[in-house]
Chains A and B, each alone.
Chain A
Amino acid sequence: MSESSSGAGSLVALLVFVVASVWLGAVAQRIVKRGSFLRGYFLGNRGLGAWALALTATVQSGGTFMGFPSLVYSHGWSLTLWIASYMMVPITGFAMIGKRLAQLSRRTGAITLPDLFRERFASPALGVLTLILVLFFMCFMMVAQFKAGAIVMKVAWPGSGALTLDEAAGDLDYYYYLGLTIFALTVVGYTAIGGFLAAVWTDLFQSVMMLVGVMILLPLVVGAAGGLEQGSRIAVEQTGPGFLSPAGYSADGRTFLPLGLAFSFFFVWVYAGMGSPAGMVRVMASKNSATIRKSIVLLAVYNMLIYLPLIVICICGRAVIPDLAKTDEIIPRLALHTTSSLPGGSLLAGLILTAPFGAVMATVSSYLVVIASGLVRDLYQRFLHPDASLAQIKRMTYAAMILVGVVAFVANLRPVAYLQALVVFSGSGGAAAFVVPAAMAAYWRRATAAGAFAAMAGGACTILGLYVTGFLSADPGIGQATVFRPYFLLGLDPILWGLLVSLVAGIVVSWLTAPPTPELVSRMFDAPPAAGECLVQA
Chain B
Amino acid sequence: MHQEDPVVKTARREALAALALWILAMTYTVGYCYLYGYRLPPDEIRLIVGVPDWVLWGIVAPWTVCTLAAAAFARFLSDADLGQELDDAGDDLFGEKESRDE
Interface residue ranges, A against B (CB under 8 Å): 36-39, 46, 77, 80-81, 84-85, 87-88, 90-92, 95-97, 99-100, 102-103, 106-109, 111, 119, 227-233, 240-247, 259, 262-263, 266, 270, 288-290, 292-294, 296-297, 299-301, 303-304, 308, 315, 377, 381-382, 386, 388-391, 393, 439, 442-443, 518, 521-522, 525-528, 531-532, 535
Closest 9 CB pairs between A and B? A228-B50, A300-B70, A109-B86, A241-B42, A229-B50, A246-B37, A390-B101, A87-B66, A245-B42
In contact, B47 and A232 (Cβ under 8 angstroms)? yes
Q: Are A36 and B91 in contact (CB under 8 A)?
A: no
Whole-angstrom CA separation of A315 from B63 in the bound complex? 19
Q: Which residues of A contact B58 (CB under 8 A)?
A: 81
* Cβ contact within 8 Å between B18 and A297: no
Contacts of B54 in A (CB 8 A): 246
Q: What's the interface size class on B, roughly?
A: 35 or more
Interface of A is mostly: helix
Pick from B18, B34, B64, B83: contact of A528, CB below 8 A: B83
In the complex, A525 Cα to B41 Cα: how many Å?
54
**B67 and A37: CB pair below 8 A?**
no
How far apart sit A46 and B70, CA to CA, in the bound complex (Å)?
24
A393 to B100 CA separation, bound complex (whole angstroms): 14
Do A77 and B55 touch across chains, with their CB atoms under 8 A apart? yes
Q: How far is the CA of A527 from the CA of B81 in the complex (A)?
A: 11
Contact A525 B38 (CB under 8 A): no
Give A208 to B12 CA distance when docked, in angstroms.
Answer: 33
A262 touches B45 (CB 8 A): no
Report whether B7 and A103 are in contact in the complex, using a CB–CB cutoff of 8 Å.
Answer: yes
CB–CB B29/A99 < 8 A: no
- Whether the pair A228, B101 counts as a contact (CB closer than 8 A) is no
**28 pairs of residues in contact across A and B, judged by CB atoms under 8 Å:** A46-B85, A77-B55, A81-B59, A90-B70, A91-B66, A95-B15, A95-B18, A103-B7, A107-B83, A108-B86, A119-B91, A227-B50, A228-B50, A240-B42, A241-B43, A241-B45, A245-B42, A263-B26, A288-B79, A289-B80, A289-B82, A296-B70, A300-B70, A304-B63, A308-B63, A381-B94, A390-B101, A525-B2
